[in-house]
Amino acid sequence: MVQQVLYRALVSTRWLAESVRAGKLGPSLRVLDGSWYSPGTRDARKEYLECHVPGASFFDIEECKDKSSPYEMMLPSEAGFADYVGHLGISNDTHVVVYDGDHLGSFYAPRVWWMFRVFGHRTVSVLNGGFRNWLKEGHPVTSEPSRPEPAVFRATLDRSLLKTYEQVLENLESKRFQLVDSRAQGRYLGTEPEPDAVGLDSGHIRGSVNMPFMDFLTEDGFEKSPEMLRAMFEAKQVDLAKPLIATCRKGVTACHIALAAYLCGKPDVAIYDGSWFEWFHRAPPETRVSQAKDGKA
Which CATH number is 160-291 given? Answer: 3.40.250.10
21-35, 124-138, 191-205, 208-222: the lowest-pLDDT one: 191-205
Give tens-digit pLDDT for 195-235: 988 899 999 999 999 999 999 999 999 999 999 999 999 99
In the set 64, 248, 255, 264, the catalytic residue is 248
Domain boundaries, the chain: 8-135, 160-291
Q: Confidence band (pLDDT; 50, 70, 90) for 1?
A: very low
Phi-psi bin for 32: left (phi > 0), alpha (psi -120 to 50), beta?
beta
Fold of 8-135: Oxidized Rhodanese; domain 1 (3.40.250)
Residue 248 annotated to the active site: yes
| pLDDT computed for residue 2 by the predictor | 41
pTM exceeds 0.75, yes or no: yes
| pLDDT computed for residue 292 by the predictor | 80
d(CA 20, CA 55): 8
Judge if 8-135 and 160-291 fold alike in CATH terms: yes
**Cα→Cα distances 186→189, 203, 238, 247, 277, Å:** 5, 8, 20, 15, 16
Strand pairing category for 288-289 and 95-99: unpaired
